[in-house]
Structure 1
Amino acid sequence: MTASTTRTPPADQAPPIEDEAARIAFWERQAGRLDWASPWHTAHTFERPRLLEAGGPEDEPRYTVPRIEWFTGGRLNAAHNCVDRHVEAGFGAKPALLFEGEPGDRRTLTYADLQAEVSRAANALAALGIGPGDRVVIYLPVIPETVVITLACARIGAVHSLVFGGFSSEALRFRVEDTGAKLLVTSDGQFRRGRAVAVKENADAAVAGENAIEHVLVVRRTGDAIPWTPGRDVWWHEAVDRASAVHEARPFDAEHPLFVIYTSGTTGRPKGLVHTTGGYLVQTAYTHALLFDLVEHEDDAVNDPARVADAVHWCTADLAWVTAHTYEIYGPLLNGVTQVIYEGTPQTPHPGRHFEIIERYGVTTYYTAPTLVRSHMGAFGSRPAPGQRPADRWDLGSIRLVGTVGESVNPEAWEWLRREVGAGTAPVIDTWWQSETGACVMSPRPQDPCWDSGSGDAAPKPGCATRALPGLSTAVVDAGGSPTPDGEQGLLVVDGIGPSAARTVWGDPQRFLDSYWRQFGERGWFLSGDGARRDADGDITVLGRVDDVINVSGHRLSTIEIESALVSHPHVIEAGTAPTADPLTGHAVLAFVVLTAEAAELDADALAAELRAHVAERIGPIAKPKHVIAVPEVPKTRSGKIMRRLLTQLFEHTTLGDITSLQNAHAVAQIAGITGHPSAEGRETAHVRP
């Protein structure tokens, strides 16, 4: 693709051209990983927000919305790059998907199988009137059909939007209506926590109002009886399984929308982030290869065939989460590796289900959320006794790399994951990125010399995302944009964005500007919304959302730091902290803790005092929780992020905000019963220790 050129911003706004040109040239080299039907003419366009009006005393200044493009003029097909080219290269017999259902049913789809299934689904979509640019909402569990229909949408140029199968009908309705979708794909049900859960009723409720839905395509998963609307509802096995397995993939512009993914809704109305095809696939393919050890050096633009051949990848995220889009659907398939997908919950029917799956399929790379690691710690112990360790009961010897994503991982969970799953030798990639960035931005790399025990270098710091990946750049700055001193908390910005960055908010470009670009957009910096600090080595530790800060007597305390201190106590499995109003100090620290079974035998007052003292010892007296509340679970979004604002609302008995994005909405009712929140239908004994 040597015919490309670069469009740069005005000279008074641009970074040094040598750095910018080198960064863009790096991504052009990585674009060679993909098959392009035609080359791009412009490698990168970035029109930063410009001030239009300064505004009056009470008015916000007005800016233009940013314009971001990569590989403009280039044409390619996402499904061809994920499937067809591997078949054409002679790898059709290689397993692409190793599926395990929660009840224990299993399927293997080779790349040739996947090509046939995706082609059938693409033909079925066309028969249902779906074409390029049409939106398709996918409301399915983690089953092969979810991957198939996602790639089929990409194959015909339809825009897909995946929705977590545990979301309510209202959450689904919003996404159906906001995207203007013509087709909803769902199932009769799904298997969850050992039972069949109805799904179709939620889907019907979501499309009962005013919307553009023409058909509902239904996968038979549980076999239960479901309501049916003749003329609208269509069975998958009738529409897809009977369609032709031959379909010619056509190329689309690099900036053609690939999918819309909605933020979790922790800060109001969910935002539909738009990701386009070319740039997203380039950064996804490269970062998956880099982070999951398919290349020898971090600037390689070609994978090591031996590493690809041996790889069995498992990203444990639900397919509707952006992590799964990038490192469970597109990334592994772009790189031609074999991957595991698992439908169910990690502790069904026993706490070692994940380790059983690792053993069965010979998983080499295990990528999961810190909250799941803490769940493993709760089930097996922070320091399992000999004979009780996961590796004593299941063969985990295939693991060569482990990783975390979602929130900053507590050092204790980092160490447990490496010691108990990675045998104390596997590299740990503690990745930082967001739905907005589309792919990973910061992480340690398995290629770093520090993972070679003979190098003499220190291993990465547990719980620290370290530094930006090649072709990207991050910084920690204050509200005015000046670098913060080492060790001081500031705002994490991406000052060198990558090709996979979101282009806009669906139907609301002004919100895209206001949410991410208003504060530093003129400098070309994306505001992540996370707080962070840089240490003397230049490594960055992410401290969570900037609104997840507790201000005690003028001291700004990170919720994640307090939670990490609590989790380091042997009786605490998980913790969620939040601010509550205090007339003396402004905020007081409110701590919700999930305790070990052994802790139930201890005196509650004494344990609460012990936990406060433990935090004071780890951080300082200013961080001591004023209130400690034992709960069965803390409320989390599907990405594993603790929804801390709900903790404050539940404690202060104020109106609860949106909970449609929670993966465990039942936790809200449990906590409401404990705290006596008016929303509680019943009451449980309070365990609040002031």
Structure 2
Amino acid sequence: MNQPNTFEAQEIVWQPTPEVIERAQLTRFMKQIGVSTFDELYKFSISKTEKFTAEVLKFLDIKFDPPYEKLLDLSDGIEFPHWCVGGGLNIVSHCVDRWQMDEMRDQPAVIWEGEGGFTETLTYGELFRQVRLFAAVLRSHGFGKGDAVGIHLPMLPATVAVLLAIGRIGAIAVPVFSGYGVEAIASRMNAVGAKALITCVGFQRRGKQIYAEQTALEAAERCPTIEKFFSIVQEPKTFGGEKITEMRNKAFAEYKKFSNEEKIEQQKKIELERELEEARYHEAMKTPKELLAKMREDREQDMKSGGVSFRSYKIDAEPNAHKIRKAFWKNLLKRGEEHLETLSHLEPTEAEDPLIILYTSGTTGKPKGIAHTHCSFPIKAAQDMAYGTDVGRGTRISWITDIGWMMGPWLIYGALINGATICIYDGAPDYPEADRMWEFCAKHRVEILGISPTLVRALATKGDDLPKKHDLSSLRAFASTGEPWNPAPWWWLFEKVGNSKLPIINYSGGTEISGGILMNNPLVPIKPCSFSAPCLGIEADILDDTGKSVGAGSVGELAIRKPWIGMARGFWQERERYLETYWNRFADIWVHGDWAMKDADGHWFILGRSDDTLKVAGKRVGPAEVESLLVAHPLVAESAVIGIPDEMKGTAMVAFCVLQTKTKDASALASELKQLVTKDMGKPLAPSRIHFVSALPKTRNAKVMRRVIRAAYLREDAGDLSALENPAAVEEIKQCGNE
């Protein structure tokens, strides 16, 4: 079909310079293969799948012990490929162990900054030790190969070590979003039969303390298979104790200045201020009453002697000793020292042993548990990171994400396999000021910044001057995934932040892919909102309803014709659902569920989920096309378009818009927006109704939930809502349905 499209007729706006081409990891890989152009490389990658994959493994220096017997086995069909058959591989060794032999040991592996402003850095040597220590802790509690271990943590340095330690002992990591409620956590833990759950007391968001422990504990109590519940107590500086730490440091410095007569009065003042903060802190940490009593007793003794208490206390409470382990992270690691020599070893695993189960966010219904192995997800993540975002040894890469979303583990595995530095910001990216993200990038000299279109739209409303307040000269590229771009925010990021010099590495795929189907790269020119090519090794195509390839300018289903090493090894214990989801349309073809188009120059565009595609008066249209036109209006910040039953058209479009500022005449603005769409797409494709709302229902990783919008508007069952960030938005849309 040849529908008008808002992404057609785009011009190339970014070209790689000779310097960019020379330094690119992709250039090095091309030299290894012996090809001179990206087109040659791509054709090689899809025509000689096994040879290409072997070259990727060589480039990433992935070693097998014993060597694999066969690289690809399709005896169970294309839907269930087996890679690196018989090969011994525990991928954790390629994340940390391998970097202990040279100067890399002292290079930063993780740079972390919390919302409160405190920072922490782990070198590859320090991370390696933490991984070994926590692996020993897990084994000392009886956990080992094949056990499922849940992770319910924010993005902390400890989170990186926890993920790798689980893999080190051959167990299966099951990360879930740190903001999930009880039922969302419990359902996922029960589905995998988790043996342990690791959480923390809490974390900070927008200056408020989020208490995660109680939620996770209630979830664990609903899971009969869970044998141990670990609650990490962060150091005061990382959770709610910023003021305590600051007060102690300041008090100690000033205290020495006072005369003996002044010390007692000053001590009273210090204690009063500190006790208020410590009361809140210890309430959050659920500090045992006996320990609090001991602390007060010691403090009173110090007061009598005229001294200031700077004692150190260990919190390691076990209210239910057989099941709950609660400790400061450092103290928890000390437990591992007792078993470091005997229990910290790397578990021998095969390349196709399960490593991680990643749950989707539920934008299309019941969450899916995506099973990945030691040679699937990490290898594809490292490949895409190297060839797409140009990450190599020492590169500093940051992505605004969570361990419960695909991009959290993707960031960890991909960066560490490449010897890069992970820069983690744990907090609201626009708090306490709207320029927090740019401040973070400048402070830590971030080179690659992963940022969502939703966040860019929000930051763009804060003004063009904020990025200019900071030295962003370290940035080499932006990267983006999770949702299609609208032109306006894309241009804002490219022009106002990147000064029209930095590429935006558009990246689209999914948890099931282990990364991307389509991706920009540093060697191919870029058009706005586009993808310059499929990822290497991915034979992507766009198909019509009969399974035939469509021509340039036509819209169809995004599909993949051959297996790739990062392909999901099915849904966890849901074989038929996996086959139904991706393999039931056309024989031996993966249909991804995205609506796509390729222009005459070979650039690709994602137009939204095909599930969301509307057929209005016999014409098919993707919501993103209409939404892009709506947000182009200066008063519209965000929009979402759904289809509802209509007697005349079959389906009528209804649009929901979030405005930059309130309007006095909503009716006039709605008419203006309808005319805007009519002018570009024709009257039949204009929305029949436009509603103005304060927010759109989104997942916690910022994806707009159109199925929820439609269900709420029509008063239908919306299915799984565990990933919903803002339930109040659903109620507002229900009210729109009554109008």
TM over 0.5: yes
Partner of 2:335: 242
Partner of 1:260: 357
Partner of 1:54: none
Partner of 1:9: none
Structure 2 matches for 1:28-107, cutoff 5 A? 28-32=54-58, 33=60, 34-47=62-75, 49=77, 66-107=79-120
Partner of 2:451: 368
Picking from 310, 315, 328, the partner of 2:399 is 315
Point out the more displaced range, 572-581 or 244-253: 244-253
Q: Does 1:409 align with 2:485?
A: yes
The CA deviation at 1:20 is: 6.2
Alignment-mate amino acid for residue 164 of structure 1:
F
Partner of 2:626: 562
Structure 2 matches for 1:115-264, cutoff 5 A? 115-221=128-234, 222=239, 223=281, 224-226=284-286, 228-237=319-328, 238-244=331-337, 247-264=344-361
Q: Following the alignment from structure 1 to structure 2, what is the Cα–Cα distance between the partners of residues 533 and 21?
A: 23
The CA deviation at 1:645 is: 1.3
The CA deviation at 1:319 is: 1.9
Q: Following the alignment from structure 2 to structure 1, what is the Cα–Cα distance between the partners of residues 695 and 409?
A: 27
Query: CA 1:19/1:248 → structure 2, altered by over 3 Å: closer, same or farther?
Result: closer
Q: Following the alignment from structure 2 to structure 1, what is the Cα–Cα distance between the partners of residues 707 and 516?
A: 26
Q: Does 1:668 align with 2:730?
A: yes
Q: Does 1:114 align with 2:112?
A: no
Structure 1 stretches of 4+ with a deviation exceeding 6 A read 17-21
Point out the more displaced range, 125-134 or 199-208: 199-208
The CA deviation at 1:174 is: 0.6
Q: Following the alignment from structure 1 to structure 2, what is the Cα–Cα distance between the partners of residues 403 and 132?
A: 35
Structure 2 matches for 1:343-422, cutoff 5 A? 343-380=426-463, 384=464, 389-422=465-498
The CA deviation at 1:407 is: 1.0
Secondary structure at the aligned position of 1:205 is classed as helix
Alignment-mate amino acid for residue 516 of structure 1:
Y
| Per-residue deviation, residues 391-428 of structure 1 (Å, max 9, x unmatched) | 32122121110111001111222221111222210111
Point out the more displaced range, 361-370 or 241-250: 241-250
Point out the more displaced range, 584-593 or 145-154: 584-593
Q: Give the number of aligned pairs.
A: 611
Query: CA 1:48/1:230 → structure 2, altered by over 3 Å: closer, same or farther?
Result: closer
Query: CA 1:667/1:129 → structure 2, altered by over 3 Å: closer, same or farther?
Result: farther
Alignment-mate amino acid for residue 173 of structure 1:
A
Structure 2: where are the runs of 5+ without partners?
1-42, 240-280, 288-318
Query: CA 1:466/1:48 → structure 2, altered by over 3 Å: closer, same or farther?
Result: farther
Q: Following the alignment from structure 2 to structure 1, what is the Cα–Cα distance between the partners of residues 321 and 603?
A: 59
Aligned residues of 2:81 and 2:563 also touching (Cα < 8 A): no
Aligned residues of 2:714 and 2:737 also touching (Cα < 8 A): no
The CA deviation at 1:19 is: 7.7
Aligned residues of 2:494 and 2:500 also touching (Cα < 8 A): yes
The CA deviation at 1:432 is: 1.1
Q: Does 1:650 align with 2:712?
A: yes
Which of the pair has more CA radius of gyration?
2
Q: Following the alignment from structure 1 to structure 2, what is the Cα–Cα distance between the partners of residues 96 and 420?
A: 31
Q: Following the alignment from structure 1 to structure 2, what is the Cα–Cα distance between the partners of residues 608 and 230?
A: 61
Partner of 1:551: 615
The CA deviation at 1:480 is: 2.0
The CA deviation at 1:103 is: 1.7
Alignment-mate amino acid for residue 234 of structure 1:
R
The CA deviation at 1:211 is: 2.4
The CA deviation at 1:443 is: 1.1
The CA deviation at 1:511 is: 1.4
Structure 1: where are the runs of 5+ without partners?
1-16, 50-64, 295-302, 451-459, 678-687
Aligned residues of 2:150 and 2:176 also touching (Cα < 8 A): yes
Secondary structure at the aligned position of 2:221 is classed as coil
The CA deviation at 1:505 is: 0.8
Picking from 659, 662, 682, the partner of 1:620 is 682
Secondary structure at the aligned position of 2:335 is classed as coil
Point out the more displaced range, 580-589 or 112-121: 580-589
| Per-residue deviation, residues 58-99 of structure 1 (Å, max 9, x unmatched) | xxxxxxx93211111111222211112112232111111111
Point out the more displaced range, 133-142 or 652-661: 652-661
Q: Following the alignment from structure 1 to structure 2, what is the Cα–Cα distance between the partners of residues 75 and 505?
A: 23
Q: Following the alignment from structure 2 to structure 1, what is the Cα–Cα distance between the partners of residues 612 and 663?
A: 32
Partner of 2:313: none
Secondary structure at the aligned position of 1:637 is classed as coil
Q: Following the alignment from structure 1 to structure 2, what is the Cα–Cα distance between the partners of residues 584 and 578?
A: 17
Instruction: Give the structure-2-normalised TM-score.
Output: 0.79
Alignment-mate amino acid for residue 417 of structure 1:
L
Q: Following the alignment from structure 1 to structure 2, what is the Cα–Cα distance between the partners of residues 38 and 109?
A: 31
| Per-residue deviation, residues 156-178 of structure 1 (Å, max 9, x unmatched) | 11000110011111110111100
Query: CA 1:414/1:20 → structure 2, altered by over 3 Å: closer, same or farther?
Result: closer
Secondary structure at the aligned position of 1:171 is classed as helix
Q: Following the alignment from structure 1 to structure 2, what is the Cα–Cα distance between the partners of residues 616 and 639?
A: 32
Q: Following the alignment from structure 1 to structure 2, what is the Cα–Cα distance between the partners of residues 664 and 401?
A: 31
Secondary structure at the aligned position of 1:440 is classed as strand
Partner of 2:52: 26
Partner of 2:542: 476
Q: Following the alignment from structure 2 to structure 1, what is the Cα–Cα distance between the partners of residues 697 and 389?
A: 30
Secondary structure at the aligned position of 1:497 is classed as coil
| Per-residue deviation, residues 550-603 of structure 1 (Å, max 9, x unmatched) | 222111111111111111111111111111222322222111111113xx1442
Q: Following the alignment from structure 1 to structure 2, what is the Cα–Cα distance between the partners of residues 371 and 512?
A: 29
Aligned residues of 1:442 and 1:467 also touching (Cα < 8 A): yes
Aligned residues of 2:654 and 2:690 also touching (Cα < 8 A): yes
The CA deviation at 1:25 is: 0.4
| Per-residue deviation, residues 141-169 of structure 1 (Å, max 9, x unmatched) | 11111111100011111000110011111
Q: Following the alignment from structure 1 to structure 2, what is the Cα–Cα distance between the partners of residues 19 and 197?
A: 46
| Per-residue deviation, residues 124-149 of structure 1 (Å, max 9, x unmatched) | 11012110110001011111111111
Q: Does 1:339 align with 2:422?
A: yes
Q: Does 1:274 align with 2:371?
A: yes
Secondary structure at the aligned position of 1:104 is classed as coil
Aligned residues of 1:475 and 1:483 also touching (Cα < 8 A): yes
Q: Which has the higher contact order (CA 8 A, sep 6+)?
A: 2
| Per-residue deviation, residues 418-472 of structure 1 (Å, max 9, x unmatched) | 1122221011111111111012221121122x3xxxxxxxxx2212223212222
The CA deviation at 1:187 is: 1.1
Q: Does 1:425 align with 2:508?
A: no
Secondary structure at the aligned position of 1:650 is classed as helix
Alignment-mate amino acid for residue 243 of structure 1:
G
Q: Following the alignment from structure 2 to structure 1, what is the Cα–Cα distance between the partners of residues 203 and 467?
A: 30
Query: CA 1:670/1:121 → structure 2, altered by over 3 Å: closer, same or farther?
Result: farther
Secondary structure at the aligned position of 2:198 is classed as strand
| Per-residue deviation, residues 31-58 of structure 1 (Å, max 9, x unmatched) | 1222333211101122465xxxxxxxxx
Aligned residues of 1:565 and 1:619 also touching (Cα < 8 A): no
Point out the more displaced range, 280-289 or 251-260: 280-289
Aligned residues of 2:521 and 2:532 also touching (Cα < 8 A): no
Q: Following the alignment from structure 2 to structure 1, what is the Cα–Cα distance between the partners of residues 545 and 591?
A: 11
Aligned residues of 2:177 and 2:402 also touching (Cα < 8 A): yes
Q: Following the alignment from structure 1 to structure 2, what is the Cα–Cα distance between the partners of residues 656 and 278?
A: 36
Q: Following the alignment from structure 1 to structure 2, what is the Cα–Cα distance between the partners of residues 231 and 30?
A: 46
Aligned-residue RMSD, C-alpha: 2.1
| Aligned sequence identity (%) | 32
Aligned residues of 1:24 and 1:471 also touching (Cα < 8 A): no
| Per-residue deviation, residues 594-615 of structure 1 (Å, max 9, x unmatched) | 1113xx1442111111111122
Query: CA 1:584/1:138 → structure 2, altered by over 3 Å: closer, same or farther?
Result: same
Partner of 1:681: none
Aligned residues of 1:466 and 1:539 also touching (Cα < 8 A): yes
Partner of 2:669: 607
